[in-house]
Structure 1
Amino acid sequence: MSGQHPVEIDTSRPHPARMYDWYLGGKDNYPVDEEMGRQMLSLDPRVPVMARVNRAFMHRATRWLAGHGVRQFLDVGTGIPTEPNLHQVAQQVAPDARVVYCDNDPIVLAHAAALLRGTPEGATEYLQADVRDPDAILDGARKVLDFGRPVALSLVALLHFVSDEDGAHDLVGRLLSELPSGSHLVVTHATADFTPEESAAATEKLKAAGVTLALRSREEFARFFDGLDLVEPGIAVPHQWHPELGEPVPGQEDGIIPGYGAVARKP
């Protein structure tokens, strides 16, 4: 994190990381984020449940990976710290785990100290960078992670904010291209497959506020894993992926969770 300076925070329009913080009951958001969050709730009051389901998926996936020997994690689209953070989950299983966090929202940088308190045996670092600049992410991550050993690339609740015009699939491919065999890709992603009308309305509201929402079908989601070996049970609704590895999120069974999650290994 040394040498990184906070960038001016844009409070004129909502930011996904701050909206996510509001859904989770956090305080690091602005009126513009709360206003858009309330508009999303008017379309589907279960949006906070969806946010918690994504967070719980990250916890379970990290626990599974650390339990299967992965000791390095690159978390892109980290969001505002909410305990337990990824490094806390990983280092609870493997105290020597090394974690690099990355986000493009300057408010996350302002709170990055919470992401840098890990075990003495392990390491944590924070990068201010955007997923649309994968080379900057890789260059920064190399300072902490050994790319000669497997790395888990975590992209949780991120890629639905990256448009096809920005080359979402190619960006993931570029990040994976530098990681060795035995590395893993972890992704959750919103979809319109289950709730097309509500999803279309949400997309339009966010677009009007300057926020991209690129909902993808199961087939489009699966393309992120081309050339990789999916971990059982494969592509699933997030809370149905290895539920035995964590506690259920209250309300997760009360309706549809319009998203997918999966973990895959690079052969």
Structure 2
Amino acid sequence: MILGVYWYFQFPENLYSFRFFKFFKGFGGHADNDAELKAIISIPHPEIFLEKLEDLHLRFKKTYLNIKINEDQLLITLGDRQFFDYHFQFASAIEDLLILDNAILIDESFETKSIINFTPEKDKFETIKHRFIQITGSDLKKYNAENLSVRIDCNLLLIHKKDFINDMIQICYKENIHVLYYYDHEFKNQCNLMLFLSNGRQTENNIQEVQINSLGEKVRQLAQKYPLQFGHFGGMKYYPLNGPYVEMVTDEEYILNKY
């Protein structure tokens, strides 16, 4: 699974700009649609352009690309539930090809005569085995960014908190995770924790994959080392709202509200 900074509900204004592509946001909820980048263009020698596009997709194997064709007219669509930086980098590279091949932006739709799909490289599907692991998004951060994170709610005796957090840091190092922060609520000799584990921006040459079940297994082993329970203790009165306390971070302005 890829964790980290992504876009879905809004376009990354002032971070990327496009001449041909237009961003269509996702709506979530019952609609649950992909966010999309679309370009409708006319181009001389489309067969040559499509060959170049196929070669370009080899650099961006984790992306889905759909092309609807009618002679020299093309509707090019990138779609996904999370648009990471490498999606926008792919769109930018496509635009470079379009400019090089003298493409023209057109407004009207056209009848589709053929379709080409470039499918993403298949990742091994991983069903999450550990119930204490939640996959969460976030509210909007800098440049309308969101963040995909692992959230873990737990509680333990206060005297073990520091050592437990230090062990979590070591797990993050081993599991290709570069962001760890938490909220807490301390009361009497007990501590409720809400942990967030994630990564920063995911670019063409820096995609960080996380094996969720390997992470979960290592966290579960800590429940044998410490008197650790998953979930929160004591009801809403003791809900962990103090923080965030940041232990590891990269691309902080895209993840935390500190800009």
- Larger relative helix fraction: 1
| TM-score band, normalised by shorter chain | under 0.3
Bigger RCO (CA 8 Å, 6+ sep) = 2
TM-score in terms of structure 2 length: 0.24
- Larger relative strand fraction: 2
Choose 1 or 2 for highest CA Rg: 2
